[in-house]
Structure 1
Amino acid sequence: MKRLTKRNNLLLWIVTVWLATACSTTKHLPEGETLYTGIKDITVQNPDPTSTGNTALEEVEGAISIAPNNSFLGSAKYRIPFPFGLWVYNRFERYEKGVGKWIFDKLASEPVLLSTVNPETRVKVATNLLRNYGYFNGQVTYQVDSTKNPRAVKLSYDVDMGRPYFLDSIMYEGFMPRADSLIRSHASEQLIHKGDNFNVNQLEAERQRLVSLMRDNGYYYFRSDFITFLADTLIRPGYVNLKVVAKKSIPQEGLKQYYLGNTSVYLTGYNGERPTDSLKTRTFTVHYPGEKPGIRFGVLRGRFLYRKGELYSQKRQDYTQEALARLGAFKFTEMNYIPRGDSLLNDTLDIRVNAMFDLPYDSELEFNVTTKSTKQTGPGAIFNLSRRNFRGMGASLNLKLRGSYEWQTSSTVDGESSVMNSYELGAELSLEFPRIILPFIKKRINPFKFPSNTYFRIYGEQVNRARYFKMLSFGGTVSYDFRSSPMSKHTVTPFQLVFNTLQHRTAAFDSIATANPMLFHSLDDQFIPSISYTYTYDNAFLKKKNQLWWEGSVTSAGNITSLIYAAFGQKFSQKDKKLLGTPFAQFMKFTSDIRLLHNFNEKHQLATRLMGGIIYSYGNKTIAPYSEQFYVGGANSIRAFTIRSIGPGSFHPKESAAYSYVDETGDLKLEANAEYRFRLLSNLAGGNLNGAVFLDAGNVWLLRDDPARPGAQFTLDKFFDHIALGTGVGIRYDMSFIVLRLDMGIALHVPYETGKGGYYNIPRFKDGLGIHFAIGYPF
């Protein structure tokens, strides 16, 4: 027995030694190199709690915080205990071909070496950062800490911020009288002030402000290197006396204001055809290939947001280039300014614009597939075809065709199996103008500064619920969107008219009218005349760690129509009013969707979303149209469930119910999602393979009690029990221009009775699995 024990211990010792050798993280490091395993500690002395101090410290930590191998969420301090990439590197580094080489190329992680981290250089950079923020006495040092592995080390840093310096007096000197007067007249826009922390970044921002101010007022040749700063820290300890000085060596062109002359536009065909003819007015000439310019003269001229004789303006140049780009007609445009004669003797700049037409057509095809182990599956497709520069108007004509199917592959519909349960088909034709167009108003509205658009749209959609009904919806909209700032977009829809008609209904559908009148009346033939306003906030262009996107919308339907009827003697609250012989809906609808993306680094992100909506019908119709009601589930919602398979509330029709697939919608919706995204493989066939872990929750409810759907009405006491919850994992293949996504949702809780007790009330694990293939990120 003792011999057996000794033999087992020896075998265990051999296996342990073999595993330790096989899983070494430093065995094949280059000679003389040391593995960097992260930061042990960062000590901060004399911290400055102000916003400037926090920003400075954040940048300092960013300069010294280098993530080691198997970092946790990109952290420089915390690591995942299993350095798989390093194991693969050390095990397969010797292979030069075959499977071993493929495994090395795809799965190995290059060791992060101490020499690569180069802490000596990093502390110098970090110290300079402190001084850039006015911490002239600040200092950053480091030390190397040993680990159990003699060829692996950690680093510790000590950050002494010292005391900050502040701006005292600020003077602008050396500018020509006209330029000096211009600077003084815009003093309220100054970015540096007495009492501010000394900050090199703010000084550079002030320099760029002055350059922009000069260039926006005719100083075409003015550059940033014409301005320098003189700082004196000796007059008052802890303070900086600052002078913003124009250099004495500025060339004469930089001190002179220039005016705009004639404009010549040279258009090149999308196959490279050179201009052969021209169309000219007194100050504006278009040179074009072929028999016609290819774009209407007035449309093109209207994008140039200046006139002859005006002072040159960098801002107007930028707006003009953006306006030309937004026409969608050109692959590229470039503007060149040519001095008329000697630039020292003449103050006029003629403009030459080179532009090349883009291909006239663009198309896009998207597929998505949703499947669920509860015997529902459904593919879908969207096809977009766009005609750029339609009829030379600089507008885009777009045709969108979409379709989706859903099969019920069990014997739950009239006892038959493999029955096609439903389909949806839609077509949409829209005309988009990159400007505001109002009837009877020829003057340009908001012609520059921020983009604006006008949309005219007509569409039709057919929804078929096999063995129950077929509904046709068609209508049209006119909408405008414009930006009041780079982050804020407003969308106004002053006209939208939709007509819903039930083309066909079966005896089975008629039989449920008495049992479920609310559902039945939501599908009535009716007009939906509405107006709406949507506000969207998006700060993604700032490229911050935390990116916020929020959209709120309000829709009013039937109210203006009712007011018109009231003007002719019918009460506003009167029911059964008709438009063209058909009743119209009357409701108010509010929606809100807020999304926050936190970037740990390029390879790790946490995305969250909170959204909700409410629709309240009254007056002419007290039941919201079926097409306007809310639902949850699907590839972009709660991914453990298919579309319209949850709610309202705790209500859930039995699979044998006649109306089990037409009524899981509601008047109130709440949904929350969280998704952690991480990089799996980089540069895989031209794209990145990313993984995701997600958690989704939400439901829909009714605002009014419906006896046919017990438990569907919203109540606070049952709120948490009514929340459907699902988790899951997914993979995304990101090729930058398109993202292919595959998600597997796992249900954790459903709000209805399943016969199983406890919070996890899914009868069988496979009953709670949902698989979705889609294009793009869910949010």
Structure 2
Amino acid sequence: MRMMNQINNTSLFRWASLLMVVILLSACSTTRNLPDGEVLYTGIRKIAIQNEDSTKAGQAALEEIEAALAYPPNNAIFGSSSLRTPFPFGLWIYNGFVNKKSKFSKWIFNKLAAKPVLISTVSPDVRTKVVQNLLREYGYFNGTASYSVLPDKKDSLKAKVSYQIDMRQPYKIDTVIYTSISPKADSIVRQTLAERAIRPNDNFSVIKLEEERQRLASIMRNKGYYYFRPDFIAYQADTLNYPGRVGLKVISKPGLPATAVRPWHVGNISYSLNGYDGETPTDSILYKDLMIYYEGKLRVRPRILYNRLFFRKGDLYKQSVQEKTQSALNRLSIFRYTDMQYTPKDTSLACDTLNLRINAMYELPLDGELELNVTSKSNNQAGPGAVVSLTRRNLFKGGEVLGITLRGSYEWQTGNRVNGASNSINSYELGLSGTLTFPRIIFPGFQHKIYDYPANTTFKLYADQLNRSRFFKLLAFGGSASYSFQPTASSKHTLVPFRLTYNLLQSTTHEFDSITAANPALYLSLKNQFIPAMSYTYTYDNAMIKEGKNQLWWESSITSAGNILSGINALAGKSFTKGKTILGNPYAQFIKLTSEIRVTHEIDRNQRLAMRLMGGFIYSYGNATIAPYSEQFYIGGANSIRAFTVRSIGPGRFRPNIDNPYSYIDQTGDVKLEANIEYRFRMIENLHGAVFLDAGNIWLLRSDEARPGGLINSANFLNDIALGTGAGIRYDLEFLVLRLDLGIALHTPYETGKNGYYNIPRFKDGLGLHLAIGYPF
């Protein structure tokens, strides 16, 4: 105990000393110990752009220019090159302890000091030369770049840098002439001129010239010219005929090797499969005309390798076929890498055949992962969680992946309701799931078909335990089978022919019972029941294939539950409407449609306009006219109408009892409509801002006495729409986006006692603050 006290006292003394040091250093100079002749860099004063080119090509050039000039000073805010915090703590420590010799001083220096960023380190002269080269590469041959060092008026050893960029008029492409490579190659090039990357009247750009070289080389390689490379293409440029115009001639370099100007065919094909640690093959097997060399034992079925090989002996070499083969092999998740090696069949001058060997190394079969996180969900739930997962790759020697996941979380809900009522709710959730994924479609007639894009069949078993504090405990378990495939790069189909879930309401609380007593529909939606369903989802996303200012994402799905079983019961002579059961328990019947469309319009490199429109519809019939609680719609939260917390609006004009803080749990509906528009803009570096407008609501399809005003009604439709606005900031870390949004309510569909469209009783009650990860849409 005595020793512990001594340790605590020592630690306390250290931290007290450190606090005193910070207080003393706060008045110290940040330039006292700079090297002789050096000046502390305090950021960029401004980047002045003259004759800015607002075209897409001009904005692309400016983006690279600003990246070349960017350099954060000490204590920069969010990596900004111009904004700093007012407390340069690291510099204070540096200047206070750089010459100290004691162990404690060195410890503080090593832990807390920040090395000064000097003007000489930033090298503005070198950066302006880089910018000058960038201007020329983008066709701004008359553009200039310069800089000024601006000393601090209070301290001459501090300075900012000001850059001046004058883009002036870009040179335009006048004519483009393609000269002869070979008669056959010329014909190939002429057939694809509509796809060329350089065109008359475009800005001259070295980047576009390189893009065209790559395109021509790919065209040639897709016609069998395996040895043809981009650097075999050269350009001759003439800027003298017309001022500000560039005449281009696309030529082939002289003296091309004979191997580059003739097509090649594929000869013998083999695999060389190295072990988990790179062990070289020790055995071999011949499957049809494919030789497979392997180490130890063959860990993959030969047919799997053969079906993913799109070359056959005698085929003309094509780069696209090579890429298709590599993609198909990579999607197996069996190999750490794959490499395709081509060698001439013999050394004769007339040889036109390449033998192909595919070298690969096995990925380790087992993978475990522990993930600790803090979640922030669209339903306003936030809290710590953990996920433990175990993955077994290549389970049946065909690329199958078995995954077992155990997850748990504890969450509490934040935020206030517009009416000022309490809105706290805590819960924990435990889940166990097992998935078996096949990298192909498991269905008669399709199991051996290999698609150009990912295609998977997944079987899943799961169980989830949800404990909603002060309300209920619910156990849901079941299984599903699903197919997912992409016929094109932009289109995806997901078919779930079988999904069976059983919801077991294990226990309820007095508070929850009081709610369901007043609203029996809520209890019916949570009662013990099976949910046998099948669904189809179509997704379109052109983000990966379309170059332009507009990106479109659209997803629609249809779900049908209980209809096949109901048909079987009808054939057996049982009632078509009520009383149908599975294993003595009722099952749900409904049809559900959802659709969501998102459009993002790029105004320029720093501004975007994002829009979303989504809707949903669920209709229950047969056994019950109330859809399962998990299938119903709700609105509000960080990814919805951000001025309102989750389940605080709707259905329709329904207003829950403000004396019951838990009554909002039944604010769900059968119809949902939501629209969002968001203006996004760059503030500084990776810090972005947004201004948004959100609108929407949910409604009932059938009257409910416990929720008056919830029925959808065309006469009151516009007034039923909840409306909110707000603003937010986002910090883009490249691998994720941190988002903070402040929503401001403008209109609620129910009566609040305040007249007019803006009917929020108190401004503070109409505020919603959301901290989330990722964009809302």
> Structure 2 length normalisation: TM-score?
0.75
Deviation of residue 289 (structure 1)? 3.1
CA distance 1:478–1:261, shift in 2 (3 Å): same
> 3-state DSSP class of the match of 1:556?
strand
Q: Deviations over 1:14-63 (max 9, x none)?
A: xxxx9898342322222101223333344444443433233333433433
- Corresponding residue of 1:15: none
With 357-366 and 623-632 compared, the bigger mean Cα shift is at 623-632
Which stretches in structure 1 are left out of the alignment for 5+ residues? 1-17, 409-419, 680-689
Q: 1:459 aligns with which of 459, 462, 468?
A: 462
> 3-state DSSP class of the match of 1:22?
coil
With 531-540 and 280-289 compared, the bigger mean Cα shift is at 531-540
- Corresponding residue of 1:256: 262
CA distance 1:322–1:105, shift in 2 (3 Å): farther
- Corresponding residue of 1:518: 521
- Corresponding residue of 1:398: 403
Q: Distance in 2 between matches of 1:510 and 1:21?
A: 60
> 3-state DSSP class of the match of 1:235?
coil
With 232-241 and 258-267 compared, the bigger mean Cα shift is at 232-241
Deviation of residue 280 (structure 1)? 0.3
Percent identity reads: 41
Root-mean-square deviation (CA, aligned residues, Å) is 5.4
Which stretches in structure 2 are left out of the alignment for 5+ residues? 1-22, 414-424, 753-759
- Corresponding residue of 2:416: none
Equivalent pair of 2:77/2:85 in contact (CA under 8 Å): yes
Summarize the alignment of residues 295-444 of structure 1 with structure 2, pairs less than 5 Å apart.
Answer: 295-342=300-347, 344-367=349-372, 380-404=385-409, 424-441=429-446, 444=449
Q: Distance in 2 between matches of 1:142 and 1:273?
A: 57
> 3-state DSSP class of the match of 2:215?
helix
Summarize the alignment of residues 706-717 of structure 1 with structure 2, pairs less than 5 Å apart.
Answer: 706-709=704-707, 717=719
> 3-state DSSP class of the match of 2:329?
helix
1:162 equivalent to 2:162? Answer no
Summarize the alignment of residues 345-744 of structure 1 with structure 2, pairs less than 5 Å apart.
Answer: 345-367=350-372, 380-404=385-409, 424-441=429-446, 444-446=449-451, 448=452, 450-463=453-466, 470-482=474-486, 484-485=488-489, 488=490, 490-502=492-504, 504=506, 513-524=516-527, 525-535=529-539, 537=541, 539=543, 552-558=555-561, 576=578, 578=580, 582-590=586-594, 592=596, 614-620=616-622, 622-630=625-633, 663=666, 665-667=668-670, 668=672, 701-703=698-700, 706-709=704-707, 717=719
- Corresponding residue of 2:17: none
Q: Distance in 2 between matches of 1:208 and 1:769?
A: 49
Equivalent pair of 1:489/1:535 in contact (CA under 8 Å): yes
Q: Distance in 2 between matches of 1:49 and 1:725?
A: 29
Letter in 1 for 2:457: T
Letter in 1 for 2:486: F
Equivalent pair of 2:730/2:740 in contact (CA under 8 Å): yes
- Corresponding residue of 1:50: 55
CA distance 1:698–1:304, shift in 2 (3 Å): same
> 3-state DSSP class of the match of 2:168?
coil
Letter in 2 for 1:490: K
Letter in 2 for 1:192: I
CA distance 1:746–1:233, shift in 2 (3 Å): closer
CA distance 1:79–1:383, shift in 2 (3 Å): closer
With 141-150 and 616-625 compared, the bigger mean Cα shift is at 616-625
Q: Distance in 2 between matches of 1:348 and 1:535?
A: 42
Equivalent pair of 1:577/1:584 in contact (CA under 8 Å): no
Q: Distance in 1 between matches of 2:48 and 2:689?
A: 34
With 118-127 and 66-75 compared, the bigger mean Cα shift is at 66-75
With 225-234 and 533-542 compared, the bigger mean Cα shift is at 533-542
Q: Distance in 2 between matches of 1:710 and 1:464?
A: 29
Letter in 2 for 1:629: Q
Deviation of residue 204 (structure 1)? 0.7
> 3-state DSSP class of the match of 1:441?
coil
With 299-308 and 510-519 compared, the bigger mean Cα shift is at 510-519
Q: Distance in 2 between matches of 1:554 and 1:761?
A: 36
Q: Distance in 1 between matches of 2:274 and 2:612?
A: 48
Equivalent pair of 1:637/1:778 in contact (CA under 8 Å): yes
Q: Distance in 1 between matches of 2:745 and 2:56?
A: 44
Letter in 2 for 1:456: F
Q: Distance in 1 between matches of 2:643 and 2:241?
A: 69
Q: Distance in 2 between matches of 1:443 and 1:453?
A: 12
Letter in 2 for 1:386: T
Q: Deviations over 1:97-136 (max 9, x none)?
A: 7555455455544333222222222222222222222222
CA distance 1:246–1:646, shift in 2 (3 Å): same
With 199-208 and 110-119 compared, the bigger mean Cα shift is at 110-119
Q: Distance in 1 between matches of 2:83 and 2:273?
A: 57
- Corresponding residue of 2:238: 232
> 3-state DSSP class of the match of 1:209?
helix
Q: Deviations over 1:755-779 (max 9, x none)?
A: x9733359xx9xx999x9x999999
Q: Deviations over 1:293-350 (max 9, x none)?
A: 2111111111212111112222222222222121111222222112212163321111
Deviation of residue 154 (structure 1)? 3.0
Equivalent pair of 1:478/1:495 in contact (CA under 8 Å): yes
- Corresponding residue of 1:205: 211
- Corresponding residue of 2:116: 111
Equivalent pair of 2:78/2:687 in contact (CA under 8 Å): no
Q: Distance in 2 between matches of 1:128 and 1:717?
A: 59
> 3-state DSSP class of the match of 1:391?
coil
- Corresponding residue of 2:284: 278
Q: 2:141 aligns with which of 136, 139, 142?
A: 136
> Structure 1 length normalisation: TM-score?
0.75
Equivalent pair of 1:640/1:726 in contact (CA under 8 Å): no
CA distance 1:366–1:630, shift in 2 (3 Å): farther
Letter in 1 for 2:499: L
Q: Distance in 2 between matches of 1:101 and 1:592?
A: 59
Equivalent pair of 1:174/1:248 in contact (CA under 8 Å): no
Q: Distance in 2 between matches of 1:769 and 1:129?
A: 43
Deviation of residue 453 (structure 1)? 2.5
Equivalent pair of 1:60/1:126 in contact (CA under 8 Å): yes
Letter in 2 for 1:169: T
- Corresponding residue of 1:4: none
Q: Distance in 1 between matches of 2:210 and 2:275?
A: 42
Deviation of residue 392 (structure 1)? 0.8
CA distance 1:143–1:405, shift in 2 (3 Å): closer
Q: 2:69 aligns with which of 64, 82, 86?
A: 64
- Corresponding residue of 1:687: none
Q: Distance in 1 between matches of 2:65 and 2:346?
A: 52
- Corresponding residue of 1:152: 158
Q: 1:180 aligns with which of 177, 180, 186?
A: 186
Q: Distance in 2 between matches of 1:453 and 1:282?
A: 26
> 3-state DSSP class of the match of 1:708?
coil
Letter in 2 for 1:27: R
Q: Deviations over 1:614-655 (max 9, x none)?
A: 343255454321111345799999999998799878856789
CA distance 1:112–1:286, shift in 2 (3 Å): same
Q: Distance in 1 between matches of 2:711 and 2:113?
A: 55
> 3-state DSSP class of the match of 2:369?
strand
Equivalent pair of 1:127/1:138 in contact (CA under 8 Å): yes
Q: Distance in 1 between matches of 2:213 and 2:595?
A: 44
> 3-state DSSP class of the match of 2:589?
coil
